[in-house]
Structure 1
Amino acid sequence: MALLLIPAGAVPAAAAVPRTETLVTGSSPVTGVVESHVALRIPLPATAGPRPAACDWLHYLRYRSAAGPARSAQADRILVAQPGVLEGAGAFDSVARNTVAAAARQGRHIEFWALDRRSNCLEDHTGIDTGNFRSAIDYYYRGRQFAGFLRNEQVGFLAHVGLAQTVRDQYDILSAELPDRALRRQKVLCGGHSLGGVITGFFAVWDFGGDPGYRQCGGYFALDTTINNSLSDLSGTTPDDMLPDLGLGYAAIKAGLESGLLTRTLSAPVLINAETMNLLAIAGLAARTEPDAGTLLPALPVNDNITATERLLFSKDFPTFVTGRPSARDFRLTNAAVLGGLLDDNSQPLAFLEASVGFYDGGPIVDKDFPGLADLDGVLGTRPMAIPDRPDGPLYTWRNYDRIGAPDDPVHRTRDGVPFSTPGQEVTDLAQLARSLSEHPLDFTEHYFPTRLVTDIQMSTAPEIAGSVRHPEGLRANPIVTLLAGDGLLAGRDLPPEYHVTVAPGYQHLDVLTAAATQNSGRPEIVSTALAAFAAG
């Protein structure tokens, strides 16, 4: 991706917002839903400084009923969703499709807009867009076209993309697409997943030149989060060592980000960084196109980041992690099993990256004792971890969510004799997760999450932020529906009755976005069903 920088102040304000909308075709089994990619040219302010030309556009994925009106203003309702930490618009694909389809079955034609943040403009999807994971690996690692993953000094404008810019971007999208505020108030439902619930809370209380945020919406929806102005309900989603020391004070943090002394993106040496987020898309592409082949792991390059990430996710115990023997590449894993190992709740240790997509198959499985099962402030998941036990042995495959408990299921058990997985704990179709990771023009993940957004939220009492928070009544000005993962970040929380909570049993944090339309119980997916009912109300 060529970074064509725009000098500050070089772009004049346009009289009308330039707009493109492109139909997205894909392989989803959910029929009757039209997806399109909408882009609006709404430049950053001159004070943001030089940035790629692409970053003066805002994007979202628009999902609508094929039997409904083509114009958004004529839809019965429009759900507008803010993504969580390290998420892009593509993460909403399953819940968006399922919700639109569920509403259509009730005779209601609704839309679901999955928003992308400004920072997603920095991603280079060229390799993924080839549709071939080998070509993608060649592009990112063996060719000369890819400029490399961006360094802190290359993303200076992200120091200015904080809370104010994020809520302003949502306001500008709504204003451009639905100019009639009375119509927005009547038809728009605002919400989000994870951090997106907190962003929605700030949008509700924000003052946009005398126009309160809550008046742009007729209701709020929260997906494993709450609509509030605090990160307290999301403990564990951003480990403390990934954030600057907030003891410096707001002005010092802001100056540190602008000067580059502090990291402008949320990043860690392994597992959470631009390269590993891109590897998830590559893994999704491999699992989508060649799920039964054992070709992905041998094709991946070897570098410190990838090797350390492999050790973290595929080490049975601490000695294995330290020595790297056996390594992940000593096992024969299908591409589907690799993706399952990266994100399944019996393998992925970080709670906010977990989904319930099935279990390993094809050979002996043992307990995975590294990095441990302790729930460290919600950072680590609580499901029993598992790992293949025969390096250089059988080809390990992946048993999808709907084949757990089938007659041919060997029912792998922990050392204590407890099944690692049961049908009620598996809710997401691995094939559809792979599709969501690799089939969209807007990514499932966010490679360059702006640190400024989280620090602004954490320090929202600072005058620079508090001056725009002028409508505290906005948090409860509209009806709310709160849809929680039964095993997610807010599991067991006692929330106020006005949150109108529905709990999805067995779901993990990502499952509220990715769960399959039909569950192992034979019933329709609970989150999208509840969202469709809320939209119909």
Structure 2
Amino acid sequence: MNMNCKARGKWRGAALAVLLTAGTLTAAAPGARADGARTETPVASTSPVTGVTESVVRVRAPLPQAAGPRPAACDWLSYLRYRSTDGPAASADADRILVAQPGILEGAGAFDSVARNTVARAAEQGLHIEFWALDRRSNCLEDRTGIASGDQHTAVDYYYRGKQVDGRTFAGFAGNEKLGWMAKLGIEQTVRDQYDLLTAELPDQTQRKRKVLCGGHSLGGVITGYFAAADFDGDRATTADAGYNQCAGYFALDTTVSTSLADLRGSLPDDTNLPDIGLGYGVVQAGLDSGVLPRTLSAPVLLNPETMTLLGIAGMGALKDPDAEASLPRYLPSNLNIEATHRALFSKDTAAFLTGKPAVKDFRLTNGAVLGALLDDNSVPLAFLQTSLGFFDGGPIADKSFPVANGGEQQPGLYGTAYKAIPDRPQGPLYTWRNYDRVGDPDDPGHRSADGTPFTGAGEEVTDVRQLARSLAEQPLDFTEQYFPTKLITDIEMAGSPQVKKLVVHPGGLTANPVLTVLAGEGLLAGRAPAELHPVIADGYQHLDVLTAAPTQNNGRPEIVSTSLAGFARSPR
């Protein structure tokens, strides 16, 4: 992630802005095991992966009173618990527990596919493991009522037109003035939340040390690094409470376990609302406390709560009927935010972006094609939003030269490496979506760029569009993170400041346990993976594919990320 990368002019930067405390940690654990302080609710799923039971777990863990007024839901921590259906009901009796921190702008629901695949793969080897996909505390602000309705039009009416669902009216997207309590949600509180959750759910430290594998995706690797190096009782001489002694090993998914953002640089445009880190820690904290600085990360298009909600709504259509003609582009309300997002993601060239013609609503698209346009690596311009879902079908395809031309100057960490394509006939044929496992079939037209380069091939497609839709629309905890705490990034960006540096109490903790690093072949670290990590490379995968890939790949082999995680769970080394 590079907060200094320069977009090509401010208007283009705006279009591209679419999405991916001193001393030791001495606060007392909040006593999350009190009566009524834990709930667990089964989650029904249409996943084709069998033998996996899912539930959503909520554990009460109040913030300090000094945090200020906040919704009651924000005094709870949540995670999605995946376990083997044939395995033990109690987590303490599982053979291993993988605990995963999400990346930037990412919620627990993003881990749905990799969690299911990993638990199922381990069960095939006789190992009953659990996978806990953590939700950051700030996700307590999200309202899933509209998406939970199961109907796209109902969801749009709920979030954008003030209509009720089951007697409930959407309270609106929270503005900066309502988020004062988030000014303290930095790296210290984030790792404290993980520690408090682990100690509440698994009180025996020796058991945690033997059974828990700690890790994450993208920014989650950096959070894991801070967790490993942290001290939680305020006495560095006692180490049973140290982060590294809560884990038997670490795993990193398209990231590294570290306390630096260096390996993630270049993945965000420069016109997010992050404050100038050069201001210094104290000035930034004062700005967050006062509200002068934004308390959540956002940008003019897509990277804000109003537009990120559209991903879940698009997923609803692709889950229900991916081959039906989509009505969503024409049913959405017209406002500056949504219009700018449409133009940024569905403009063939600069002229189309500036004029808005042709618009996405001028094309006939299936529900699957709408989701593909939003998240496929051959369509969406930003690398940390990209998955390898398949390709457009049903009509002529053209090169998409906005924001950058295919084959021209590239910033792989920001834009990705895949050539971009777009339907080329407004008011024309119904554009469908060729799913990942049909790319390269005999009836595949094999679309090529104007320079003759194939847009894609079977080896570059790994994620099932309907299963991605299921993760977006079916999970009780969101795939995305609408309210990402600014302080979490500014803390890590200012890792050299005394206030943050003092949190790294046990630096040796980063290498105290075995590490599994799995990198996407076309992801954020493509071509620059540190050799000493001996990473597993998932060829053809994009940044999000390490979480979303289908259990069986086009080469007929089991999915490599979950296979590697299951093997690591059997014997960390």
Which of 34, 56, 76 is equivalent to 1:16? 34
Which of 306, 313, 316 is equivalent to 1:285? 316
Which of 346, 356, 367 is equivalent to 1:314? 346
Q: Are 2:487 and 1:452 equivalent residues in the alignment?
A: yes
Within 5 Å, which residues of 2 pair with 1:397-436? 397-436=432-471
Once the 2 structures are TM-superposed, how far is the Cα of residue 47 of structure 1 from its aligned partner?
1.5
Once the 2 structures are TM-superposed, how far is the Cα of residue 189 of structure 1 from its aligned partner?
0.2
Q: Are 2:87 and 1:68 equivalent residues in the alignment?
A: yes
Query: Structure 1 residues 254 and 518 mapped into 2: Cα distance closer, same or farther (>3 Å)?
Result: same
Q: Is the 8 A contact 1:331 1:390 kept in 2?
A: yes
Q: Is the 8 A contact 2:397 2:422 kept in 1?
A: yes
Which residue of structure 2 lines up, in the alignment, with residue 5 of structure 1?
Answer: none
Once the 2 structures are TM-superposed, how far is the Cα of residue 346 of structure 1 from its aligned partner?
0.3
Which of 513, 530, 533 is equivalent to 2:547? 513
Within 5 Å, which residues of 2 pair with 1:325-364? 325-364=357-396
Q: Distance between the aligned counterparts of 1:121 and 1:466, measured in 2?
A: 29
Which residue of structure 2 lines up, in the alignment, with residue 4 of structure 1?
Answer: none
User: 3-state DSSP class of the match of 1:51?
Assistant: coil
Q: Are 2:246 and 1:216 equivalent residues in the alignment?
A: yes
Which AA in structure 2 matches 1:389?
D
RMSD: 1.2
Q: Are 2:134 and 1:115 equivalent residues in the alignment?
A: yes
Once the 2 structures are TM-superposed, how far is the Cα of residue 466 of structure 1 from its aligned partner?
2.0
Within 5 Å, which residues of 2 pair with 1:456-495? 456-495=491-530
Q: Is the 8 A contact 2:94 2:130 kept in 1?
A: yes
Q: Distance between the aligned counterparts of 2:58 and 2:31, measured in 1?
A: 17
Which of 191, 195, 212 is equivalent to 1:188? 212
Once the 2 structures are TM-superposed, how far is the Cα of residue 298 of structure 1 from its aligned partner?
1.3
Q: Are 2:474 and 1:442 equivalent residues in the alignment?
A: no
Deviates more, 1:292-301 or 1:370-379: 370-379
Which of 325, 334, 339 is equivalent to 1:302? 334
Within 5 Å, which residues of 2 pair with 1:358-397? 358-373=390-405, 374-376=409-411, 378-397=413-432
Once the 2 structures are TM-superposed, how far is the Cα of residue 99 of structure 1 from its aligned partner?
0.3
Q: Distance between the aligned counterparts of 1:249 and 1:240, measured in 2?
A: 19
Once the 2 structures are TM-superposed, how far is the Cα of residue 492 of structure 1 from its aligned partner?
1.0
Deviates more, 1:55-64 or 1:458-467: 458-467
Q: Are 2:52 and 1:33 equivalent residues in the alignment?
A: yes
Deviations 1:142-200 (A, max 9, x none): 22511211111111111111111000000001000000000000000000000000000
Which AA in structure 2 matches 1:386?
A
Which residue of structure 1 lines up, in the alignment, with residue 9 of structure 2?
Answer: none
Deviations 1:29-73 (A, max 9, x none): 000000000000101111211101100000000000011101111
Which residue of structure 1 lines up, in the alignment, with residue 10 of structure 2?
Answer: none
Which AA in structure 2 matches 1:259?
S
Q: Is the 8 A contact 1:87 1:446 kept in 2?
A: yes
Which of 200, 210, 224 is equivalent to 1:176? 200
Q: Is the 8 A contact 2:31 2:200 kept in 1?
A: no
Which residue of structure 1 lines up, in the alignment, with residue 25 of structure 2?
Answer: none
Q: Distance between the aligned counterparts of 2:290 and 2:152, measured in 1?
A: 38
Which AA in structure 1 matches 2:319?
R
Q: Is the 8 A contact 1:340 1:357 kept in 2?
A: yes
Deviations 1:238-280 (A, max 9, x none): 3333211011100000000111111111100112111111100
Query: Structure 1 residues 15 and 30 mapped into 2: Cα distance closer, same or farther (>3 Å)?
Result: closer
Q: Distance between the aligned counterparts of 2:412 and 2:379, measured in 1?
A: 19
Which residue of structure 1 lines up, in the alignment, with residue 188 of structure 2?
Answer: 164
Q: Distance between the aligned counterparts of 1:14 and 1:531, measured in 2?
A: 29
Which residue of structure 1 lines up, in the alignment, with residue 12 of structure 2?
Answer: none
Which of 97, 106, 125 is equivalent to 2:125? 106
User: 3-state DSSP class of the match of 1:359?
Assistant: strand
Q: Distance between the aligned counterparts of 1:38 and 1:486, measured in 2?
A: 33
Q: Distance between the aligned counterparts of 1:180 and 1:318, measured in 2?
A: 59
Q: Distance between the aligned counterparts of 1:15 and 1:345, measured in 2?
A: 44
Once the 2 structures are TM-superposed, how far is the Cα of residue 288 of structure 1 from its aligned partner?
0.7
Q: Unpaired runs of 5+ in structure 2?
A: 1-29, 164-168, 236-240
Q: Is the 8 A contact 2:383 2:412 kept in 1?
A: no
Q: Are 2:66 and 1:43 equivalent residues in the alignment?
A: no
Q: Distance between the aligned counterparts of 1:136 and 1:241, measured in 2?
A: 29
Identity of aligned residues (%): 67
Which AA in structure 1 matches 2:131?
F
Q: Distance between the aligned counterparts of 2:252 and 2:32, measured in 1?
A: 34
Q: Distance between the aligned counterparts of 1:96 and 1:332, measured in 2?
A: 35
Once the 2 structures are TM-superposed, how far is the Cα of residue 13 of structure 1 from its aligned partner?
6.4
Q: Unpaired runs of 5+ in structure 1?
A: 1-11
Q: Is the 8 A contact 2:32 2:200 kept in 1?
A: no
Q: Is the 8 A contact 1:72 1:111 kept in 2?
A: yes
User: 3-state DSSP class of the match of 2:353?
Assistant: helix
Query: Structure 1 residues 309 and 530 mapped into 2: Cα distance closer, same or farther (>3 Å)?
Result: same
Query: Structure 1 residues 104 and 160 mapped into 2: Cα distance closer, same or farther (>3 Å)?
Result: same
Q: Are 2:129 and 1:95 equivalent residues in the alignment?
A: no
Q: Distance between the aligned counterparts of 1:298 and 1:73, measured in 2?
A: 50
User: 3-state DSSP class of the match of 1:379?
Assistant: helix
Q: Distance between the aligned counterparts of 1:360 and 1:478, measured in 2?
A: 44
Q: Distance between the aligned counterparts of 2:304 and 2:379, measured in 1?
A: 19
Q: Distance between the aligned counterparts of 1:13 and 1:167, measured in 2?
A: 16
Q: Distance between the aligned counterparts of 2:503 and 2:109, measured in 1?
A: 30
Once the 2 structures are TM-superposed, how far is the Cα of residue 304 of structure 1 from its aligned partner?
0.6
Once the 2 structures are TM-superposed, how far is the Cα of residue 215 of structure 1 from its aligned partner?
0.4
Deviations 1:372-406 (A, max 9, x none): 15433721112100000000000101000000001
Q: Distance between the aligned counterparts of 2:398 and 2:412, measured in 1?
A: 26
User: 3-state DSSP class of the match of 2:413?
Assistant: coil
Deviations 1:273-317 (A, max 9, x none): 111111000000111113222222111111111111110111000
Which residue of structure 2 lines up, in the alignment, with residue 276 of structure 1?
Answer: 307
User: 3-state DSSP class of the match of 1:240?
Assistant: coil
User: 3-state DSSP class of the match of 1:378?
Assistant: helix
User: 3-state DSSP class of the match of 2:415?
Assistant: coil
Which AA in structure 1 matches 2:262?
S
Once the 2 structures are TM-superposed, how far is the Cα of residue 523 of structure 1 from its aligned partner?
0.3
User: 3-state DSSP class of the match of 1:266?
Assistant: coil
Q: Are 2:297 and 1:266 equivalent residues in the alignment?
A: yes
